[in-house]
Chain A
Amino acid sequence: MALPAYTTRVERIWHYAFNVICGLIFFFLIAPIVVIIPLSFNAEPYFTFTKEMLSFNPEGYSMRWYDALLGSSEWMGSIRNSFIIAISSTIIATALGTVAALGLNRPNMPARALITAILISPMIVPLIITAAALFSFFARVGLSNTFPGIILSHVVLGTPFVVLTVTASLAGFNETLIRASQSLGANQTRTFFKVILPLLLPGVISGALFAFVTSLDEVVIVNFMAGPAQTPMTVRMFSGLREEISPTILALASLLVALSILLLTTLELIRRRNERLRGMSPG
């Protein structure tokens, strides 16, 4: 934002002050996430920078918390549980949500507003309420402390994101493409797989990523629903943060930050591909 020549001095000062303020806010957003990464390499069991770390003495740094994390069968088991739950619930949520979004966006959908509200509601209802309701319900039908119970509850949480993202990608959908495909002799199935799905795919994938992250990150429901055999990493982290805090948690947290960078990159690539496909300039 180069300043034009006619700006007054007050405007100039305000302009720089504004940039400094924004810089501080961006710092507030990103610093907490950045700070845990070096701390996870701490050689001492502290949550702060030691003198050795600050003077970049290699002895201040170590991989011991990563070794502790990767060497612990409890942590590794819970990470495995998390991925079992997240992957299965994502697959179910994506399938259900995509199909529902396709129906919801048909011109003849009856009671669209009401049904949309119901489909989105799991995102709005506070997690603790969903947990309270599902806790008793699953206890009654014998699904508490089981993987299917946890997976089903995560499907509930994940579907609104899939419905929203697929709906968003349907909004820019050019209906004539379907007619074009059909006039060229493709039947409905072929049209769906060759024309509709490739255009929807970005929406479906970002919805699936949302559902995946939601499940991987979820603590409240699993905290009530998971027995010792299903304990996911979030519950272990949660109780770890409440009781004895060990930098092992920071090692796991750093790995999770790496995972979110990966997800963010994937989404950005999808977005660019999407814009290219629709004939817009890649940003």
Chain B
Amino acid sequence: MASRERAPKQELLAADGTPLKAALRRSQTVERRRAFMLVAPLLFFLLIVFVVPIIAMMWRSVYNPEIRNYLPQTAAALQDWEGQDVPPEPVFQAMAADMIVGVENRTIGRAAARINREIPGARSTVMRTARQVDEWSAPYREKFIEADEDWTNIEFWRILKRESRVVTPTYYLLAVDYEYSSEGEIVPRSEVYQVYKQLFWRTAWMSVFITALCVMLAYPISYMLATQPTRIANLLLILVLLPFWTSLLVRTSAWIVLLQQQGVINELLVALNIIDETGRLRMIYNRTGTIVAMTHILLPFMVLPLYSVMKTIPPSYLRAAKSLGAHPFRAWWRVYFPLTIPGLAAGCILVFILAIGYYITPALVGGDSGIFISNLIAQNMQGSSAQLKLAAALATILLVAVLFIYWLFNRLVGVDKLKFG
């Protein structure tokens, strides 16, 4: 006893003589590296084929290099210009120099096209002047103005200065129905062009509505599934799982078959004399079509998490509440319902996230009044390079919204709680 107390504090050693702490740390590092090596292939694959393309898309939505690349000197010279009057000689000199280089490299056409996108008709001004400019000498200002009156247009120069920024918010402004006025101020676009804000709202409220419908339909059948004996529950579960495993396009075409004006439901109603030939209901290619079909398609995503939570709630809780004198409704509301909230939250966020990004079903059954923001992203993806950038901006806004909800979901429920089948 006494001798041990007096002995110098000795470090614990591992079998090979190294200090135990160091050996432990080393072995943990090895273990950690091993675990990471297993994840690494998929992680790097996803980083390259998924994360990087998405970041590139986000960058593309603000990237505006054309003026800066094709007219570098002009862009630099315009930085000192206040935007009040026709620019001074140095700007014209820079423009002349850029034009000479541009004609040589055959890039002037692209620059002219880019300016033309902002100011329709400006292409011919630029191209005509560019063809003459190598015959001129300083001072350039008068010669430019002599060649074409448009060079005195202050608006033209203002826009050129604005578009010489490499990072531009233009496409985000367009995505929420704003644009630059000729004075360079941010103003709402004219009403005819205002589509995107309305569509973001429609996407949001219709998704909320569809989620609410899914809750109303999923709650009773999940309860039934959870309270029936296993044999019956398993049979009923097939009625949920079969739609879940059936192709999205199959389900959408089924709704086209059912809902269209010559479709099964209308024929049935006519045959039963509930409506006459002229009164056939319009249930598809409009909002109704989108809501009905999407509710049907997303319903299993609500039922499955709800069912898996309800299955774990002992039925004796409800009986206990009732035996203590609670009204059946009160027993349900105070005892059963709070226990189902985790499943309800998982289902709601899942359905909402899926709904908000839906494309196929609205495109097929939504007509004009039932399409979502995704459909406009798709439309713009098939257009010009400016439309591609607008599509990237719209997609980024949608993505940020979805990631926010995903983050919230992760905080509240945990992504590892997701279960399928």
Q: Which residues of A contact B (CB under 8 A)?
A: 1, 11, 14, 18-19, 21-22, 25-26, 28-30, 32-33, 35-36, 39, 46-49, 96-97, 99-100, 102-104, 106-110, 115-122, 124-137, 152-153, 155-156, 159, 161, 163-165, 167-168, 206, 210, 213, 216-217, 219-220, 224, 234, 237-238, 241-242, 245, 249-250, 253, 256-257, 260-261, 263-264, 267, 271, 283
Contacts and interface: CB of A to CB of B under 8 A. Distances in A.
B254 interface: yes
Given A132-B377, A224-B381, A103 B35 contact: yes
B60 interface: yes
Interface stretch (B77-85, B156-164, B188-196, B388-396): B388-396
Most A CB contacts (10 A, CB to CB) among B52, B217, B253 go to B253
B35 A109 contact: yes
Interface residues of B, number: 91
A237 B253 contact: yes
Nearest to A128: B374
Contacts of A116: 415-416
28 contacts: A1-B228, A29-B296, A29-B300, A36-B253, A49-B264, A99-B38, A99-B41, A100-B39, A100-B42, A103-B37, A104-B35, A107-B31, A109-B32, A110-B32, A119-B39, A121-B50, A128-B378, A129-B57, A130-B50, A130-B54, A136-B388, A164-B419, A224-B381, A234-B247, A234-B249, A241-B249, A253-B250, A261-B242
Interface string B230-252: 10001010111111011111111
Interface of B: 28, 31-32, 34-43, 45-47, 49-54, 56-57, 60, 217, 220-221, 224, 227-228, 230, 234, 236, 238-243, 245-258, 260, 262-264, 267, 296, 299-300, 328, 353, 356-360, 363-364, 374, 377-378, 381, 388, 391-392, 395, 398-399, 402-403, 406, 410, 415-416, 418-421
Given A130-B54, A234-B247, 11 more contacts: A29-B300, A103-B40, A108-B31, A121-B406, A122-B50, A124-B402, A126-B358, A136-B53, A237-B253, A238-B249, A256-B247
Most B CB contacts (10 A, CB to CB) among A46, A137, A159 go to A137
Contacts of A261: 242
B294 to A, nearest CB: 13
A49 B249 CA distance: 21
Contacts of A137: 49, 52-53, 56
Given A219-B249, A234-B249, A245-B256, A106 B364 contact: no
A109 to B, nearest CB: 4
A263 B249 contact: no
Contact of B42 (A25, A96, A125, A128): A96
A134 to B, nearest CB: 5
A138 to B, nearest CB: 8
Nearest to B271: A54
A18 B393 CA distance: 47
A213 B249 CA distance: 12
B357 A127 contact: yes
